[in-house]
Structure 1
């Protein structure tokens, strides 16, 4: 390029002085693209660069021999970028000003510098380029001085490359690589505005996610790292991101894995406890696990954080409805949006049924109480312990003790401390005394005493609670004293004590059965049968009362009734030899009473060897159960031993042995395809076939069909 005249240089210097003064104003300017020839222009950064955007061109002035500014010193950082790509012109420069001193600087830059300055600049350029080649991991500066050299370049007015995006094509970079990919790279950009920082942050985040991410127009080289490391990194980020944890919890919840979902929601809350949705979602997981009271606490927490959280209000209202708190349910349904008339109608219906339950209980109208309690449960209060207590109490008062106990067992199971905190001490005390009365009736007197005492501690001023406590203590005292007298063979005195206990609880199964034992010892078998029958009405599974009634009926020579009870007991305990012997004796006596032949009947003789077809048909068609073994004469000794062992455990069952060599017609008529084989007959019909020598299957089948 030709050299410019001195006049032009003076003109440029004059204009430079003017615009340098203007450059003190904090305007953001940019310059036109530099030419890409090999004689790149050397530029000096003006003071206004401290306000410019990184990547935008800065105001420059031509170096002139008569310029009042001294040339850059050698220790200043001179950075040149030969053969740079053309930077895109900034539109802001055309809007902000017309003629710029930088234009004159570019027109005269090829000839305005003195020869000494050229030598200095060329020497410095070669030095810098060599240093840059030796530092492949640095971006224009040393890695360990990246953040500090940037500030020094402003203070010493170091030369920096002019570029619109601070990025160059990969082909022009040579062996240069970005300095860092962390956030420090963004903070090192000089005077970045918030918009610029956001742009670079987005580009850098894009480059982190993929293996071939792009930052600006610089393509990142594919990494040789293990691809699993990226998954571990994302997993770590998810563990630190409460929203990601919530999303993971939602997926677990949709799959029905409530325990896993609860753990993820807990982690999200640990990171951010002030997000209402986390607590609301946690309550949903707790509902799935059946922890309703804990779910209520989480819903309350969500509403406290965000009072207008409609979903939390709706969920809390539904919880209150299920727990029988109709008034609270109505209150929160009104806050939920959109208002659901169906749920409000349910809450109102529940409120009506609860009012009727309280009224019926006060009037001691137990049938109405039972009806309204069931209606309340069907209205949505399926987990309300107080309503189940209403229903159990009504059944107790109606002497439907077994139903009352079944209703109690079907109801919700909450810890008493949780019930006290949620429903209050009075409601908890009421539920405890109902449970105590149930236990007392079913013979669990020690548990009944403990529950009644706890109820008295919760509500000591309640007369009903103290009355139940006195009753339970009196019944327990009568049982203990009566047992002592019975063991001392003082049967009459023991009977009196049991009577005292029954005055407080007329349907107590323990006292009824114990009094029956005393009356049996006193020869009062008819009264003993009555006591046992009453105990079995209250508790049909009370086997001790059934055995005592069977024995008393046998004493009264009521053989059919006695056999009926013995057979029921033998089904429950098929290996009980005492019951089996009693059953056998009762059958002998019944046959005697009917005048039948009993000469071949012996206890333990339920193993029969079949000698003819008529005898086989007699056993398999008779009422009851028979087990037939089809075998060979000599080769099945082990199977015969098994038959004998099982036979002793089930004395009420006939076991028949058929040797197929002597009775081939029986084997054919009964469709025996292989031996040994067992066949089970009940009431004349073949119900089971067991091939081979399977003892477990044989015993389980005998037990099943004999019951």
Structure 2
């Protein structure tokens, strides 16, 4: 860690064009006597001042290989930078305020990972300063690591319960993650000018999520979609549950590409941290919706694995169990159909894909694959019908569009040929 920080300080010096920060190593700190300490009794004098006052003595003490001899018997390279600057470099490594300032500068320039490393080093030196934890949380949030950021903000307010900025930052993080009640609690404890507006947004998110739950029970997917999208607009842009509600509504409304885009645009958190942060049942629901989106997008193996994890988290949930079974059926049907198609057994492949469609009638991938079988069997009208079904739920599905175009050409060619013969 020390070696990495030394390099960071050195890089910082090069970028900023300053000599106040230099890389401190044994090679450039082990100077004349006492590893570079100032000579006693001479205020402001450096470790080399005796050599500087007597150049002849300095020359006599130089080794023939260009190295300087230290009073401790170590052979080290002669320093190129002024010793006073070298001494300051050591203090930068152990001065948490200086590390925080460097972290702030990296943060302002958009170097968030570097900022996190510097704040971490400041915390190692002095873990009792809440500003270090709060600033690190800001950098983590910029990297999309919101759950980690929450943990650091919570530590900041634990150290200083009256730290308004940390409360406001923590409230904003909870708001983005869809935890409205916690957001309101911390926002009300901050003396920020925007507190009132932020509390109103958090209350709006809470209300909209509740409406989504009520609408979902009666399968009113239009309302679920509208309220979940409004919650995102209010600030819950990283809330897994809100994004899952939006994706589920889009799936039910046969807008599969949009459902996939909604979940792909949301941050992904690890199973363990999500379960601990949001709760087992809430995270199992998110995984269930993700599995359904994977099925609709043709990622069948991913769907099986995700649904299995959801089942393990919430084994008594029948809805999750049904999704898991469906994922296994369609994955098996696609695999079996592909093998039969490769073997040119097109009728059997068509039946295999059909078994998967019995469990997921609007699956664009299975429909497109079955269309390929129909086309090989010269059943072009049926192939076009399946391509239409695939494009109805995934308008951007280029493979289905090309296959339909090819079948249309063959149908037209067949009609023209018959007309010519007649």
Question: Normalised by the shorter chain, which TM-score bucket?
Answer: 0.7 to 0.9
What do residues 136-189 of structure 1 show as CA deviations (whole Å, max 9, x unaligned)? xxxxxxxxxxxxxxxxxxxxxxxxxxxxxxxxxxxxxxxxxxxx965xx7xxxx
Partner of 2:132: 278
What do residues 228-275 of structure 1 show as CA deviations (whole Å, max 9, x unaligned)? 211111121121111222222223323333222222111111111122
Q: Indicate the RMSD between aligned Cα atoms, in angstroms.
A: 2.9
Partner of 2:186: 332
Contact 1:283 1:299 in 2 (8 A): yes
Matches within 5 A, 1:512-523: 512-523=367-378
Q: Aligned-pair distance for 1:515?
A: 1.9
Q: 1:323 to 1:209 in 2, by over 3 A?
A: farther
Q: 1:243 to 1:476 in 2, by over 3 A?
A: same
Among candidates 140, 147, 156, match of residue 293 of structure 1: 147
Aligned residue pair count: 354
Matches within 5 A, 1:339-488: 340-487=195-342
Say whether 1:266 aligns with 2:123.
no
More helix by share: 2
Q: Aligned-pair distance for 1:485?
A: 4.3
Q: 1:181 to 1:406 in 2, by over 3 A?
A: same
Among candidates 165, 187, 190, match of residue 311 of structure 1: 165
Partner of 1:244: 98
Find the aligned partners of 1:328 and 1:351 in 2 and give their Cα distance: 11
Contact 1:553 1:559 in 2 (8 A): no
Matches within 5 A, 1:83-94: none
Q: 1:250 to 1:545 in 2, by over 3 A?
A: closer
Partner of 2:389: 534
Find the aligned partners of 2:133 and 2:54 in 1 and give their Cα distance: 41
Find the aligned partners of 1:209 and 1:463 in 2 and give their Cα distance: 78
Find the aligned partners of 1:484 and 1:222 in 2 and give their Cα distance: 87
Q: Aligned-pair distance for 1:535?
A: 1.7
Contact 2:174 2:180 in 1 (8 A): yes
Q: 1:281 to 1:543 in 2, by over 3 A?
A: closer
Q: Aligned-pair distance for 1:555?
A: 2.7
What do residues 193-220 of structure 1 show as CA deviations (whole Å, max 9, x unaligned)? xxxxxxxxxxx9xx43999xxxxxxxxx
TM-score (norm 2): 0.76
TM-score (norm 1): 0.47
Say whether 1:302 aligns with 2:156.
yes
Matches within 5 A, 1:200-211: 207-208=43-44
Partner of 2:410: 555
Return 5+ residue gaps in structure 1 as ranges.
Answer: 1-179, 186-203, 212-220, 561-588, 594-707
Q: 1:489 to 1:286 in 2, by over 3 A?
A: closer
Q: Aligned-pair distance for 1:343?
A: 1.1
Matches within 5 A, 1:22-101: none
Q: Aligned-pair distance for 1:484?
A: 4.3
Return 5+ residue gaps in structure 2 as ranges.
Answer: 1-37, 56-78
What do residues 389-436 of structure 1 show as CA deviations (whole Å, max 9, x unaligned)? 111110110001111112222222333333222212212211111111
Find the aligned partners of 1:223 and 1:307 in 2 and give their Cα distance: 58
Q: 1:333 to 1:520 in 2, by over 3 A?
A: same
Three-state SS of the structure 2 residue aligned to 1:557 is: helix
Find the aligned partners of 1:226 and 1:411 in 2 and give their Cα distance: 51
Q: 1:286 to 1:209 in 2, by over 3 A?
A: farther
Matches within 5 A, 1:213-224: none
Find the aligned partners of 2:80 and 2:39 in 1 and give their Cα distance: 18
Partner of 1:495: 350
Q: 1:328 to 1:242 in 2, by over 3 A?
A: same
Q: Aligned-pair distance for 1:505?
A: 0.6
Higher relative contact order (CA 8 A, sep 6+): 2
Three-state SS of the structure 2 residue aligned to 1:460 is: coil
Contact 2:221 2:252 in 1 (8 A): yes
Find the aligned partners of 2:363 and 2:259 in 1 and give their Cα distance: 14
Q: 1:242 to 1:223 in 2, by over 3 A?
A: farther
Partner of 1:577: none
Find the aligned partners of 2:275 and 2:155 in 1 and give their Cα distance: 20
Find the aligned partners of 1:209 and 1:316 in 2 and give their Cα distance: 48
Find the aligned partners of 1:248 and 1:260 in 2 and give their Cα distance: 9
